[in-house]
A and B are shown apart, each in its own frame.
Chain A
Amino acid sequence: MRITLFVTCLADALYPSVGQSTVTLLERLGHQVEFPQAQTCCGQMHVNTGYQRDALPLVRHYVETFEHCDVIVAPSGSCAGSIRHQHAMVARGQGDEKLARRAEAVAARTFELSQLLVDVLGVEDVGAFYPHRVTYHPTCHSMRMLRVGDRPLRLLRRVAGLDLVELPDADVCCGFGGTFALKNYDTSTAMLADKMRNILDTHAEVCSAGDSSCLMHIGGGLSRLRAGVRTVHLAEILASQREQA
């Protein structure tokens, strides 16, 4: 299958290995990956901070860049969630009904990684090997906007060598919330502290998730504490094989 990658601005700029792993994984599964270099950002930060007018050019740009693609994958629950649940709303709110319809059509073909693997490609065992103790944070927008359910866990359970340990209060937000972490940094930090306590209680070496943004938040906290727990994106685990691990 020909699959188009929307790498997300955060992974592009700060976590290129998340994009590389997504490419490696999908190619290993026998698919052809494309990367339109015109792509930029989904505009979620603008929408969620109240700047819908400034988000409109980004929505239009996403639609124009991807509307010729059959299947689009984003290694992020919140970016895929924003595309699916906010793009048409932004276009409509700014009075562009035509763009809203186009956005709805592209959004319906945009998938978060675990959804693509399980629902579209019908695969749970991706042939990965990752000999580490891992706990998984399900991320709010994957859970509640996209309803990915236990798909990431089903994928992880099939990874050879991986010891998956349950995260207590897994479904509670890590406190990132985009600009929430800046506007309400004390509250955000308090939420992060509780998330980190739960992660450390699992004695996992690795905390994984399907969103680079949440991982940046959790990983930034763990790194500050010198907690000795790494944050690794789901794509990186699923791409990992015996010779690399």
Chain B
Amino acid sequence: MTTFLGFPTAPKGVGHLRTVQPFPVAARQALGDAQLRRNIGAATATIQAKRANVTAELPDWEALRSAGQAVKASAMRSLDRCLVELESQVQARGGTVHWARDADEANRIMTGLVAATGAREVVKVKSMVTDEIGLNEALAAAGITAHETDLAELIIQLGHDRPSHILVPAIHRNRAEIREIFLHEMADVDPALTDDPHALAEAARVYLRRRFLTARVGISGANFAIAETGTLCVVESEGNGRMCLTLPDTLITVMGIEKVLPSWNDLGVFLQLLPRSSTGERMNPYTSMWTGVTPGDGPQHFHLVLLDNGRTAALADQTGRQALHCIRCSACMNVCPVYERTGGHAYGSVYPGPIGAIISPQLTGVEDNATLPYASSLCGACADVCPVKIDIPSVLVHLRARHVEEVRRTHRQPSAEAVGMAAASWVMADPRRYSAALRSARIGRALGRGGRIRLLPPPLSRWTSARDAPVPPAQTFRDWWRDEHGDTP
């Protein structure tokens, strides 16, 4: 499976990057769920307001965003050198580096590493990339149980559910639903458990503490990796990550190759951008950084898996590659009017919302996520909040064009839409044909009743399913102008 540029994309049948149903179909189900709309609307509005406050208070916020954009662009340009430098620095400090072309290879490597320790259980830091590649399923197939330790990820795992948000995976659940999940799925939970947030957190704490203290292998993703020093960095809110990163004897970290930053100094920009954009905090509560192995302190075996899984293909697209700048803050989905109404599951992929609509199709090839670039009204709210200034609407438009060209290339018969678009272009590129078309549109006046049209034929029937359409006027503007001013060129 290759893209138009020939680089391999993320393989089918493994991980969670592809829409199962077309977005409009999946969205329809979500739109009918009043509880979901309410849960997501309330949660995104809260985070959005917090973000707005803590970004407005910084006089240099726009300069920080530009700096973040510049560092990411430069890291992508020098990705080949950065990754090799990262590898040699990690090795020099006692770590082992593995290169994984795709999800299958990464899962094979990591399953093998865990199996080699003899452990049957692992504890996990919240990580998008392990969900992207379907690591938990791969471990389970090898008889290894993965315990999610982030509270929201734990809720998802215990509820046999799928995450619907990058930062708050269980955003679609309210506390009453969470209580139900804990009561049913946590062994020896207090049956008198209430839906008080503190009580729910305490139940999770007790449950997780046992896992932390017994686990011999920890698995994490990474927010950043520093090429210059070989340092990995994870930022989090709950402290569970720090437990996983320090208590086990073996630590296995998997990261997308786009997470690397050239130098230590670059971190300063992102440790300001990320918490303010994601949780709306000035600083995140826990920032863990580690470099290789320190004898007698923390994990004594450290493995770093560098994952491609379609990223090189995305990098080859000059317009689309900026999607790789994403630092997974989720600000774009919190302001997105589409996400707010459909929730994350409608996007099919582990990366939902506006950023998901440009990342997922690039990792899989546009043809495999063809409805995602269209899952936006192009309102642009996402681009305004992106901490690294990814021009999401422009990339969406670009991916739509890639999709149209792809369909053109692979289908002998043009679609009805393509025929219509070509016809409209033919008509509108010529003033005489255009004027004639406007005049003939007046036939539509026959459909008008009481100054409005209630029903149009397909595909415009989708418009009139919920909206009236305007009745064409007796005279177009150009005819009026001609009456008033005569025939001017």
Contacts and interface: CB of A to CB of B under 8 A. Distances in A.
Interface string A5-45: 00101011111111110000000000000111111110101
A217 B485 CA distance: 32
A16 B476 contact: yes
A39 B489 CA distance: 10
A140 B379 contact: yes
A105 B463 CA distance: 36
Interface stretch (B23-31, B138-146, B305-313): B23-31
A9 B475 CA distance: 14
A13 B421 contact: no
Interface stretch (A52-60, A127-135, A160-168): A52-60
B322 to A, nearest CB: 14
Contacts of A187: 24, 27, 31, 338, 341-342, 375
Interface in A176-200: 176-192, 194
What secondary structure prevails in chain A residues at the interface with B? Answer: helix
Nearest to A36: B489
A220 B380 contact: no
Given A182-B459, A191-B377, A55 B473 contact: no
B462 A181 contact: yes
Given A37-B431, A38-B431, A54-B422, A192 B463 contact: no
A220 B465 contact: no
A22 B326 CA distance: 43
Contacts of B377: 140, 173, 175-177, 180, 188, 191
A39 B469 CA distance: 25
Contacts of A16: 473, 475-477, 480
Most B CB contacts (10 A, CB to CB) among A14, A34, A57, A177 go to A14
B119 interface: no
Interface string B363-384: 0000000000111111111011
A104 to B, nearest CB: 16
B38 to A, nearest CB: 13
A46 interface: yes
Nearest to B421: A51
Interface in B118-144: none
A18 to B, nearest CB: 8
A25 B337 CA distance: 35
B466 interface: yes
Interface stretch (B67-75, B97-105, B268-276, B398-406): B398-406
A46 B337 contact: no
A135 to B, nearest CB: 18
Contact of B466 (A20, A48, A176, A192): A192
A223 B470 CA distance: 10
B interface bracket (residues with beta carbon within 8 Å of A): 35 or more
B478 A37 contact: yes
A187 B27 CA distance: 7
Given A50-B403, A189-B465, A220-B468, A184 B374 contact: yes
A182 B478 contact: no
Contacts of B403: 50
Contacts of A157: none
Given A40-B429, A188-B377, A220-B470, A46 B478 contact: no
B445 to A, nearest CB: 11
A173 B473 CA distance: 27
A54 B374 contact: no
B31 A182 contact: no
A123 B421 CA distance: 40
Contacts of A154: none
A177 B489 CA distance: 33
A223 B468 contact: yes
Interface of B: 23-24, 27-28, 31, 337-338, 341-342, 373-381, 383-384, 394, 397, 400-405, 417-418, 421-422, 424-425, 428-431, 434, 438, 441, 452, 454, 459-460, 462-463, 465-470, 472-473, 475-478, 480-482, 485, 487-489
Closest 6 CB pairs of A and B: A177-B377, A220-B467, A50-B400, A173-B379, A144-B380, A50-B404
24 contacts: A13-B441, A18-B477, A19-B480, A20-B477, A34-B488, A37-B488, A40-B428, A40-B430, A40-B434, A41-B428, A43-B425, A50-B403, A54-B424, A61-B429, A177-B377, A181-B463, A182-B463, A184-B27, A184-B374, A187-B338, A187-B342, A191-B338, A191-B377, A220-B470
Given A46-B421, A54-B425, A180-B378, 15 more contacts: A13-B441, A16-B475, A18-B477, A38-B431, A45-B424, A50-B397, A54-B424, A60-B429, A172-B379, A173-B379, A175-B337, A184-B23, A216-B470, A223-B467, A224-B467
